[in-house]
């Protein structure tokens, strides 16, 4: 039935494309650009027509003038290539990687090999995700569907001066589309051969001409999945999303602009890990442990673990329900040549997950049977106030103040059944825990313009943090709440009750020099000091705080970084060549990281100050336009991200000697190429041929350096062909993803009790699709 619906959809849309009315068009439009490069502007100048404008420093600037390693992806390009979330854009930006997981709360972004892996609500990510000027405090909030966006800006390296304490590795800045001054609408339909159906639509225009304009858009996306649970008979790795976003812009006076934004996204997912191997390889001995019981359990279900396996056998399908919503009000007031900006925002994130803890079906003497059920309720309120000076004088600047209150409450329950003396024994463990945080900051950044071509950069942010946590754990095996360690069960610990608080102050700053090399090139050198505040390791199975066990509830010290970066940006006069080059070295001290451990035969993690790590490398973005209609984008990153001095936590095995080893999610080489050629078939019809290739060298997915969690090098090749009617806004695009049918893992990890599991990415195998869009 799905195939019949897909065939009907494809034939209908093809017929619509053929039947489109003709309108005159002298020449084909240029293809959408992916990695934007624009001529240099002096500090006093406004970006020229056709330049890509970014807001990386809280003012509109030409991308090529900003002294930061930054990539901008247009919303049109993202939609055409079906890059619909932050995880998908990692292929197009070599310095960015993404850690997936069964639930949104387990996912996070990495830039230049640095990110924060944790399920604890007591720590913020190292990469900040900003949505229309609002910082998202939890990593899971960043997994939203992008919807209709104007562009995404990815700022690499510490950005704490302007973006705050959770930007020590970089920023993903999402800018959504504004309503236009005339009435407009858009509609988008998509379908794939592996049964993904996507609908996106919206309307925009003035409600009161010159005074009030609005845009409202919605989306629905349903993916059937690309793995299968042989026990339930259901496809897994599936998702269903629907959401809406509304933006209202009012200009009651010539000097006042008000922007109100509200958005809601509802997600259901069945993301499940599958067994890639029945073995685990130890570090550093490389001893291989193969589990015969695991092989037998999988074999009984007809599953052979392998790097291409797409089947699992669990009692239930992983079920994650997620709601992500909020609203903001931005006021921009002109005071002569100065501008005051206020951003008031509130957001809430609700997450409910049900997972098969043991990853198998049935109960045996070798493996227990477990079911996890957890909820997250995270709320945040923020207020930002900024003053922006005019440009062109000796000094231009942005100064401001920031306040954030975040509150996260979680409940996690694990039901575990084991065979004891031949009889099943069921234990239920429940943990209620949470965090309340307050963040206050004063910040500013300035250019000192020694001349029209030469300037100094100086920025500073002072941050105050207060952090409170609570944690109450109960176990049915400890009915009197004695807390005795003898009552611990595998993966379920006895009663525990704790709370605590900490407060710290820290500094972020940036110093640099920038020199314009003529009208269309510039070079810069910057030193940045990054700061990420204190943290608590608060999660379901954390260890107790007493004299005989590890001190998991002591607050983690802040994470700091020192970064040096030199860059060169520019373009030729006719923009046939645009380029951006950067070289950097960044050292992180007090690095906040998860370290895997085994307690009573079960995998657990500890969030620790892991010591010192370093990321250094070279990045390049080059755009070629050798002839009309042809654009070639080339991007590459060489990243040497390694552990300098790892601090083994108390009680850890000697195998935690990982000095000199690579950081997880940090391939040494990533490359990306995209070529698009648009040409006219007639006065009213154009065609675009597009092809892109991404390459990643081998990637270690575990800080523990286990050889079984290394993904070998791989390359993915995609291509598309589109028929475009520029005059009346129609576009029909056919595409193929993963043409060579290359299988790979987006994440590898040790299984709960044995073996190695892999998470299967969306493009783990070849599929094709059609996309039809109409702009009215």
Write the pLDDT tens digit of every residue in 59-83. Answer: 888 788 889 999 988 888 888 888 8
Residues 575-594, mean pLDDT to the nearest whole number: 92
CA–CA gap between residue 158 and residue 167 (Å, rounded): 6
Task: Tell me what pLDDT residue 507 has.
Answer: 93
DSSP-assigned letters across all residues of 139-192: GGGGG-B--SEEEEEEEES--HHHH-TT-SSEEEEEEEPPP-SS-EEEEEEEEE
Task: Tell me what pLDDT residue 53 has.
Answer: 76
Q: What would the pLDDT profile of 362-387 be if each residue is shown by its tens digit?
A: 888 888 899 999 999 999 999 999 99
CA–CA gap between residue 104 and residue 692 (Å, rounded): 28
Angle at 457 between CA 456 and CA 460, to 5 degrees: 145
Instruction: Output the average pLDDT for the chain.
Output: 87
Residues 462-469, mean pLDDT to the nearest whole number: 94
359: left (phi over 0), alpha (psi -120 to 50) or beta: left
CA–CA gap between residue 323 and residue 144 (Å, rounded): 10
Task: Tell me what pLDDT residue 419 has.
Answer: 85
| pLDDT of 708 over the 50 cut | yes
Residues 727-744, mean pLDDT to the nearest whole number: 94
Residues 665-694, mean pLDDT to the nearest whole number: 95
pLDDT band at 488 (very low <50, low <70, confident <90, very high): confident
Task: Tell me what pLDDT residue 21 has.
Answer: 33
The model's pTM is: 0.88
pLDDT band at 548 (very low <50, low <70, confident <90, very high): very low
Beta-carbon contacts of 290 under 8 Å, excluding residues fewer than 6 positions away, are 278, 279
Residue of 595, 413, 418 lying closest to 490 (CA atoms): 418
Task: Tell me what pLDDT residue 138 has.
Answer: 85
Residues 488-507, mean pLDDT to the nearest whole number: 88
- Before 284, cis peptide (omega within 30)? yes
Distance linking the first and last C-alpha atoms of the chain = 32
> Of 310 and 51, which is predicted with more confidence?
310
Q: What would the pLDDT profile of 129-140 be if each residue is shown by its tens digit?
A: 999 999 998 887
Cα distances from 397 to residues 41, 59, 137, 162, in angstroms, run 17, 10, 26, 12
pLDDT band at 11 (very low <50, low <70, confident <90, very high): very low
Task: Tell me what pLDDT residue 24 has.
Answer: 30
Task: Tell me what pLDDT residue 8 has.
Answer: 41
Radius of gyration of the chain (CA): 26
Contact 163, 135 (CB under 8 A): yes
Contact 85, 73 (CB under 8 A): no
Cα distances from 51 to residues 46, 63, 84, in angstroms, run 10, 8, 24
| pLDDT of 164 over the 90 cut | no
Residue 55's H or E segment, with its range, is: none
| pLDDT of 51 over the 70 cut | no
From the candidate CATH numbers 3.30.565.10, 1.10.260.40, 3.40.50.11810, 2.40.170.20, the one assigned to the domain spanning 2-775: 2.40.170.20
CA–CA gap between residue 672 and residue 694 (Å, rounded): 4
Extended beta strands in 421-519, E state = 423-449, 454-475, 496-516
Residues 556-578, mean pLDDT to the nearest whole number: 91
> Of 365 and 678, which is predicted with more confidence?
678
Task: Tell me what pLDDT residue 653 has.
Answer: 60
| pLDDT of 418 over the 80 cut | yes
* In the chain, domain spans: 2-775
Residues 293-319, mean pLDDT to the nearest whole number: 93
pLDDT band at 55 (very low <50, low <70, confident <90, very high): confident
Cα distances from 585 to residues 53, 153, 615, in angstroms, run 27, 21, 6
Task: Tell me what pLDDT residue 651 has.
Answer: 65
- Which DSSP category does 161 fall into? H
Q: What would the pLDDT profile of 189-207 be if each residue is shown by its tens digit?
A: 999 999 999 999 999 999 9
CA–CA gap between residue 711 and residue 667 (Å, rounded): 10
Q: What would the pLDDT profile of 88-131 be if each residue is shown by its tens digit?
A: 888 899 999 998 888 888 888 999 999 887 778 888 888 989 99
> Of 40 and 663, which is predicted with more confidence?
663
Residues 42-54, mean pLDDT to the nearest whole number: 54
| pLDDT of 13 over the 70 cut | no
pLDDT band at 409 (very low <50, low <70, confident <90, very high): very high
Task: Tell me what pLDDT residue 217 has.
Answer: 93
Residues 408-421, mean pLDDT to the nearest whole number: 91
Task: Tell me what pLDDT residue 293 has.
Answer: 93
Task: Tell me what pLDDT residue 601 has.
Answer: 55
Task: Tell me what pLDDT residue 546 has.
Answer: 45
Lowest mean pLDDT among 334-343, 649-658, 744-753: 649-658
Task: Tell me what pLDDT residue 544 has.
Answer: 53
| pLDDT of 594 over the 90 cut | no
């Amino acid at each position: 039935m799905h195939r019949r619906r897909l065939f009907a959809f494809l034939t209908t849309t093809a017929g619509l494309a053929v039947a489109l009315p003709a309108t005159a068009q002298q020449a084909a439009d240029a293809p959408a650009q992916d990695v934007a490069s624009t001529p240099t502007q002096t500090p006093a100048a406004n970006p020229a027509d056709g330049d890509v404008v970014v807001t990386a420093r809280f003012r509109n600037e030409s991308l090529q003038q900003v002294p930061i390693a930054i990539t901008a992806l247009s919303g049109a390009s993202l939609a055409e290539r079906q890059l619909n979330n932050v995880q998908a854009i990692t292929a197009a930006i070599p310095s960015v990687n993404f850690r997936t997981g069964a639930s949104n709360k387990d996912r996070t972004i990495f830039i230049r090999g640095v990110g924060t892996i944790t399920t604890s609500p007591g720590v913020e990510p190292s990469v900040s995700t900003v949505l229309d000027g609002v910082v998202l405090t939890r990593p899971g909030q960043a997994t939203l569907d992008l919807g209709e966006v104007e562009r995404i800006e990815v700022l690499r390296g510490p950005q704490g001066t302007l973006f705050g304490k959770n930007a020590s590795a970089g920023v993903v800045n999402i800018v959504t589309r504004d309503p236009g001054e005339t009435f407009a609408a858009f509609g988008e339909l998509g379908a794939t051969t592996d049964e993904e159906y996507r609908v996106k639509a919206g309307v925009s225009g003035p409600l009161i001409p010159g005074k009030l304009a609005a845009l409202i858009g919605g989306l629905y996306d349903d993916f059937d999945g690309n793995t299968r649970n042989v026990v339930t008979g259901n496809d897994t790795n599936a998702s269903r999303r629907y959401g809406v976003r509304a933006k209202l812009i009012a200009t009651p006076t010539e000097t006042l602009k008000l922007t109100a934004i509200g958005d809601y996204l509802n997600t259901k997912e069945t993301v499940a890990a599958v067994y890639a191997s029945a073995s685990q390889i130890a570090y550093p001995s490389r001893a291989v442990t193969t589990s015969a019981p695991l092989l037998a359990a999988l074999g009984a279900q007809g599953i052979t673990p392998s790097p291409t396996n797409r089947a699992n056998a669990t009692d239930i399908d992983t079920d994650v329900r997620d709601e992500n919503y909020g609203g903001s009000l931005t006021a921009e007031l002109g005071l002569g040549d100065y501008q005051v900006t206020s951003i008031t925002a509130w957001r809430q994130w609700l997450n409910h997950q049900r997972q098969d803890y043991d990853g198998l079906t049935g109960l045996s003497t070798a493996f227990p049977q477990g079911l996890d059920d957890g909820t997250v309720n995270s709320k945040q309120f923020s207020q930002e106030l900024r003053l922006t000076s005019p440009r062109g004088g000796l000094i231009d600047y942005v100064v401001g103040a920031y306040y954030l209150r975040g509150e996260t409450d979680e409940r996690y329950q694990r039901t575990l059944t084991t065979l004891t003396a031949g009889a099943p024994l069921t234990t239920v463990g429940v943990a209620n825990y949470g965090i309340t945080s307050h963040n206050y900051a004063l910040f500013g950044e300035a250019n000192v313009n020694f001349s029209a071509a030469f300037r100094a950069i100086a920025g500073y942010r002072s941050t105050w943090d207060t952090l409170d946590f609570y944690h109450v754990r109960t176990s049915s095996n400890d009915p009197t709440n004695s807390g005795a360690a003898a009552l611990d069960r595998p993966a379920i610990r006895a009663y525990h009750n704790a709370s605590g608080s900490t407060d710290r102050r820290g500094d972020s700053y940036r110093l640099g020099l920038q020199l314009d090399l003529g009208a269309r090139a510039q070079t810069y050198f910057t030193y940045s000091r990054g700061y990420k505040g204190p943290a608590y390791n608060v999660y379901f199975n954390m260890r107790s705080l007493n004299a005989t066990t590890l001190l998991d509830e002591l607050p983690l010290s802040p994470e700091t970084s020192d970064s040096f970066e030199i860059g060169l940006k520019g373009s030729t006069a006719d923009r046939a060549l645009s380029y951006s080059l950067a070289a950097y070295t960044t050292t992180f001290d007090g690095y906040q990281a998860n370290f895997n451990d085994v307690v009573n035969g079960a995998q657990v993690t500890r969030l620790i100050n892991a010591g010192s790590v370093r990321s250094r490398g070279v990045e390049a973005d080059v755009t070629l336009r050798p002839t009309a209609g042809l654009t070639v984008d080339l991007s590459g990153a060489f990243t040497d991200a390694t552990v300098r001095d790892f601090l083994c936590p108390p009680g850890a095995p000697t195998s935690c000697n990982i000095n000199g080893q690579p950081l997880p999610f940090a391939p040494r080489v990533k490359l990306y190429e995209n070529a698009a050629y648009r040409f006219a078939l007639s006065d009213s019809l154009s065609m675009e041929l597009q092809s892109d290739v991404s390459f990643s060298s081998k990637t270690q997915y575990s800080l523990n350096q286990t050889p079984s969690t290394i993904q070998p090098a791989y390359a993915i090749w995609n291509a598309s062909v589109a028929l475009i009617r520029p005059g009346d806004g129609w576009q029909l695009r056919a595409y193929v993803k993963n043409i060579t049918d290359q299988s790979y893992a987006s994440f590898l990890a040790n299984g709960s009790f044995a073996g190695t599991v892999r998470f299967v990415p969306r493009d783990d195998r070849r599929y094709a699709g059609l996309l039809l869009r109409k702009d009215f």
